[in-house]
Amino acid sequence: MTTSLDPQDSDRALDHLCELARASFTDELSDREQAGWNRLEAKLSRRSRPRRVLVFGLGLAAVAAAALPLALRLRPTPPSLGFRVVDEGGVAQTASNLASAGRIEFSDGSQINVASEARASVTAIDARGAHIRLEHGRLSARFVQLPNASWSVAAGPYQVLVTGTAFDVSWAPDARALELWLRHGSVLVKGPNTGQGIAVVAGQHLQASAATGQIVLDAMAPAPVQPAAPTAPADLAPTPSPPSERPSIRESPRTQRPTPTPRSAILEPSLTWPQALARGDFQRILDEGARRGLDQVIANATSADLAAFADAARYGRRNDLAQRALLAQRQRFPQTLPGRDAAFFLGTIDEARAGREAQMSALRWYGRYLAENPSGNLRGQALGRRLAIFESLHDRSAARETAVQYLAQFPAGPYASNARRIVESGR
């Protein structure tokens, strides 16, 4: 290829291209590469002006050809993360999945602990993270937060998208039910009836049923507090259990009992409902409520017991009982924190139901929560859920107004990207 460019222009262009090539060398060159570069520069410096004009295009190609492989060598594609699968005893396994207790360890320090009888596998991995599939059971994940990190956990039709965080997640294929407990950071859950995705932040718990379409987002129950066992050896001391699992009691060999004592006989006499809730013993609370009489509980339970009963009903997917308890909480204890938070949880119950009327009721409850809690911990979630509902109802004006409000208060919140998209699109 020839060109009639002015010789001075071609000189400047070629010299500039050489400078760009030099700038791309971020490491020291090998002796062979340096010698090749020196020869190229010497030939360019000796060329006559007419020759430069005639072979200007070839000169550019030569410099580009010389610079490209060096630049690629000096700026390689980041290597993929590595991982290994180990069993409960720390012995490395050859398979990329676990069917029993063990863990998956990644080279960046991230780790996934797989519960007994669960199965999880690594389906894809690159330099930014990995895709994990939870086939059934429960896992506990801790992902290191690094720039541009990208991790996901798939369970049935759901996806949990994360960057750096710690959470527990369980999947029951038979019931098609997902549960998530967010310890640190934030995630976005996508799947049936989640719209653009549901943001879950630290301290929150999410239940989703692909069978019924129901989704419940609420505050995570406190970590279980185990009873003291002063006579138990250190290696038998009980360890905290996840909120939805009952803790096991391991008896000390030195404990003198003629016959084994049932767990219920050890724990139940001294447990309050809030304590039972913290242990994840939701059914016990519901059973005791039924024995006392639901009307009696609704009318006479303390605020703490009423809140525990409502939470147990929501965790146990008894939204009818939860709704009664939450309404009673608002009527009997309107100035308490549980009484004000009840408005948010009533909104989540309505949002889980199908139909426009239910969605409008959820909007009203979220609106009441926002009006009553100017600095409430659930304020960002209430605004974000209102935004999602307005979008699903195709109310563009209300969605945009809510998006502006959300960005003003939570510019880096979990719903910020969706809100920004709505505002920028002019919807």
299 and 419 share one domain: yes
Average pLDDT in the chain: 74
Determine the pLDDT at residue 127: 84
The answer to the question of residue 251 being in a domain is no
Q: Which of 56-60, 72-76, 103-107, 163-167 has the highest mean pLDDT?
A: 103-107
Note down the domain range covering 115: 83-219
CATH of the domain at 334: 1.25.40.10
59 and 17 share one domain: yes
Is the CB of residue 119 less than 8 Å from the CB of residue 101? no
161 and 91 share one domain: yes
92 and 30 share one domain: no
Determine the pLDDT at residue 136: 87
296 and 402 share one domain: yes
408 and 345 share one domain: yes
The answer to the question of residue 231 being in a domain is no
Q: What is the mean pLDDT of residues 178-203?
A: 85
Residue 246: pLDDT over 80: no
The answer to the question of residue 257 being in a domain is no
Over residues 4-48, the pLDDT tens digits come to 545 555 565 555 555 555 544 434 445 555 556 566 655 555 554
63 and 150 share one domain: no
Over residues 298-320, the pLDDT tens digits come to 999 999 899 989 988 887 788 89
Over residues 55-74, the pLDDT tens digits come to 445 454 455 555 544 444 44
The answer to the question of residue 242 being in a domain is no
Percent of the residues in the chain that have a pLDDT greater than 90, as a whole number? 23
- 386 to 187, 201, 366: CA distances (angstroms): 19, 17, 7
62 and 94 share one domain: no
Determine the pLDDT at residue 23: 46
Residue 268: pLDDT over 70: no
Q: Which of 86-95, 350-359, 401-410 has the lowest mean pLDDT?
A: 86-95
Q: Which of 93-97, 186-190, 252-256, 382-386 has the lowest mean pLDDT?
A: 252-256
Q: What is the mean pLDDT of residues 185-198?
A: 83
The answer to the question of residue 91 being in a domain is yes
Residue 342: pLDDT over 90: yes
Token digits of residue 258: 């003629």
CATH of the domain at 107: 2.60.120.1440
203 and 301 share one domain: no
204 and 285 share one domain: no
Give the Cα separation of 179 and 196 in Å (integer). Answer: 19
Confidence of residue 256 (pLDDT cuts 50, 70, 90): very low
Determine the pLDDT at residue 176: 85
The answer to the question of residue 260 being in a domain is no
28 and 95 share one domain: no
Domain boundary, last residue among 22, 51, 74: 74
Determine the pLDDT at residue 49: 45
Residue 263: pLDDT over 50: no
Question: What is this structure's pTM?
Answer: 0.46
The answer to the question of residue 241 being in a domain is no
State the total domains in the chain: 3
Domain boundary, last residue among 32, 50, 74: 74
42 and 143 share one domain: no
Higher pLDDT, 247 or 19: 19
The answer to the question of residue 226 being in a domain is no
Q: What is the mean pLDDT of residues 96-103?
A: 71
Confidence of residue 275 (pLDDT cuts 50, 70, 90): confident
Determine the pLDDT at residue 96: 62
Domain boundary, last residue among 202, 219, 236: 219
Determine the pLDDT at residue 328: 95
Q: Which of 374, 348, 342 is nearest to 361 (CA)?
A: 348
